Amino acid sequence: MTKVFAVALGILTAIGGFVDIGDLVTNAQVGARFGLSLSWAVVVGVLGICVFAEMSARVAAISGRATFDLVRERLGPRLGLLNLLTSMLITFLTFVAEIGGVALALQLASSVHELLIVPLVGLLVWLVLWRAKFAAIENVFGILGLALVVFAVAVWQLGPDWGALLHQAVTADKPGDEEWSTYAYYAVALFGAAMTPYEVFFFSSGGVEEHWDAKELTTMRANVLIGFPLGGALSLSIAASAWLVLGPLDISVDTLGQVALPVAAALGKVGLAVAIVGFVAATFGAACETGLSVAYSVGQYFGAQWGKFVRPREAVTFHAVLMLSALLATAFLMTAVDPILVTEASVVFSAVALPLTYFPILVVANDPDYMGTYVNGRLANVLGVIYLGVIAVAAVAAIPLMIWTRMGQ
């Protein structure tokens, strides 16, 4: 019964934690303009995160060591440092976006200006990371994030032509007034949002903290292979609701409030309140995950003591990075930078950093010195190599497409 509960709870947290500020904004933007014609990019991204999350978690369970610890040892300090700096930059940028997302969600509920809320959010995130237990962070915010299922309810309530939606998704039927370059830009953005690097860093580091071993592999795989796809389905419901409500009115998504408009139109104030709860939970939970991921990567690369289960006095570097990251992210947002703009940039730059994130995982997962008999099988390697090719294409195309389309304008 304990294992069944662990699987169920893990699936719930995977669903609730999959959709962060990047997924919220990007899926709503794409849905309002392209409907479900880019749903294939979400499906490809979800399958990719499943492939590499399973690898990274298996590495953590079998070797008992986290990603950056092994990257530095297996690939050498120079390549490991490049990996560290690139990943830290992207993860920190995502951390900024998530804190800004929490502030925007609270602004919807209170009408208080976001700049007055940002310092409070930064402080709360740091306090939670410093004092709250690991399981509480993962489970509470993950389960509350399930409030975002209200988007799926809204789609059902709107009573769409299901056949037309399915046809649009299956045929990738791009609206005629949109350019192919913009279509490609948003495909890369959706792919980057689904495969954000911090997800595997957090997942594998959490496994080390919780002392996973070979006995936990079944539970871990259930969490990955059921939870992430259901989270992807939730992302598609956000896009579908935006298409049904915002598409006919030619409304583009530039604010978090516009992301919630389809729910308000379909379900009224109660639905809007539930959506805001989901916004706060999803973005706050992702802020905790990204903040931890920055500190995890630094501690692991430099061989310092790290982890939520380690006392602050014994993991000074880890907790100092947590505090410094929260301070810098808050200071960055207090310059009045648009959190939505940061979000859009973070998902595109995530695509650029993907090769440096996932190539080392594939290398270590095939090393018998670390994995013994638990090295990748043929299917994992075939999918891993294919995805490295897809990741390389997305990484090369991301910046040119961002410049060419002026960030999807």
- Contact between 62 and 367 under an 8 Å Cβ cutoff? The reply is no
What residue has token string 């009224």?
Answer: 268
What residue has token string 């976006």?
Answer: 97
Shortest CA distance to 66 belongs to which of 368, 299, 308, 350? 299
Instruction: Please name the amino acid found at residue 242.
Output: A
Residue 323 to residue 319: CA distance in whole angstroms: 6
- pTM of structure: 0.90
CA 87 vs CA 92, 96, 182, 199, 304: distances in Å: 8, 14, 26, 12, 18
pLDDT at 331: 96
Shortest CA distance to 398 belongs to which of 340, 344, 342, 348? 348
Each residue's pLDDT tens digit, 378-395: 999 999 999 999 999 998
- The mean of the pLDDT values for the chain is 86
Each residue's pLDDT tens digit, 53-92: 888 888 888 888 777 777 777 777 777 788 788 888 888 9
Residue 275 to residue 281: CA distance in whole angstroms: 10
pLDDT (average), residues 247-266: 90
- The token duo for 63 is 């070797």
Residue 169 to residue 185: CA distance in whole angstroms: 18
Residue 54 to residue 222: CA distance in whole angstroms: 10
Higher-pLDDT residue of 385 and 217 is 385
Residue 263: exposure state from Cβ atoms within 10 A (0-12, 13-18, ≥19): buried
CB atoms < 10 A from the CB of 374, how many?
16
- The token duo for 314 is 């014994």
Domains observed in the chain: 2-404 (1.10.4160.10)
Q: Would the pLDDT of 14 be above 70?
A: no
Each residue's pLDDT tens digit, 228-240: 888 899 999 999 9
